[in-house]
Amino acid sequence: MEKLFIISNESVYENDKKFFCDNIDLKSTPEGLSSSFEVNLIARRSKKIRNHFINLDKIKIYSSFISFISAVIKSTKNNNSKYLLISLSPYTFFACIILWLLKKKPLVYLRSNGFDEYKIILGHFGVLIYSIMFSITANLSVLISCRKYILKGKNGYVVNPSQLDSEWKLNQSKPNLEKINLLYVGRMRKEKGIFSLINIIQNNNDINLTIVGEENDSSNKLKHEKIKTIKIVHDQKKLIKLYDDNNIFILPSYTEGQPMALMEALSRLRPSIVFKEIEHVVQNRVGVFISDRNYESLIKTINHIIKNYVSIQESMRKNYLPTNKDFIKSVKNIILEK
């Protein structure tokens, strides 16, 4: 079986020789590809407990940049190895350069628009940093992206990432509409827009918000009786029930590529709201509504959804939602081709 090294900037926690991550992609993608390749995962070491168990035999994690890059160099001893770098960060950027210098041409999978993310975190200086990394990486690798616009006109492959399986479409239901129950599933990060959303709705006692993805100490920042925080949910049935128990899914992010939680919400026939910064995620999907990032626009959108809930749900049944198997097959075929 051909060797595939997956190299990621994500932090991985080790406990009793078992490895855990927060981003579900870093679990499902290596696991899915392991049926076709001998997958070796190289990532950063985390001191913080992570949530998703990675069911993979060959995982190496490193505490320092030097040890991380050394592991990348050592991996090239096998001439027939293939390389998949997940996301573009300083770690994966230098890994790409090292691989190119050692006559390897890696695949680089861009899961989101790094230009926007770096701008939110570091301002215009961040955009400059990412622009340099992106331009060099595009010339040294084969790009894969979840959206064509993320490629910025460069050659590359476009795939449809998904975590869905057949269970997500079973026993779809209509929720109780007597109260407005919003659900957000994602990280508690500035670029995810969750704190912006809280500021918008915090003075409206008629809106309940459930946040799934609470991180250490993040709940201390939330002091509102209508906001409920839940740590990352591992059990798929419990996560499906959370979507079913709420009536509107909301994704307040400032930047997104192909958000998995949005597809989960649509699979449960839950109308969804995004803000204008990420209106591109709507594509041709029915049931995703765009709001301005202010109270008046958001309330207007919510009221429209509640008033027309039944007809919106019926129209959502027409949505095409790819599965995780579809995604893994696409990535596998690209790796084999290259």
Q: Tell me, what's the pLDDT at 221? A: 55
Q: Tell me, what's the pLDDT at 203? A: 86
Q: Tell me, what's the pLDDT at 117? A: 84
Q: Tell me, what's the pLDDT at 222? A: 60
Q: Tell me, what's the pLDDT at 224? A: 66
Q: Tell me, what's the pLDDT at 174? A: 84
Q: Tell me, what's the pLDDT at 215? A: 62
Q: Tell me, what's the pLDDT at 217? A: 47
| Distance, CA of 288 to CA of 311 (rounded, Å) | 13
**SS3 at position 208:** strand
- 């250490």: which residue's tokens? 216
- Report the helix count and the strand count for the chain, using DSSP H and E: 11, 15
Cα–Cα separations (whole angstroms), residue 38 to 34, 127, 183, 248:
6, 36, 38, 41
The ranges of the chain with pLDDT < 50 are 217, 219
Q: Which domains does the chain have, with CATH numbers?
A: 3-162+325-337 (3.40.50.2000), 166-316 (3.40.50.2000)
Residue pair 121/189 in contact (Cβ under 8 Å)? The answer is no
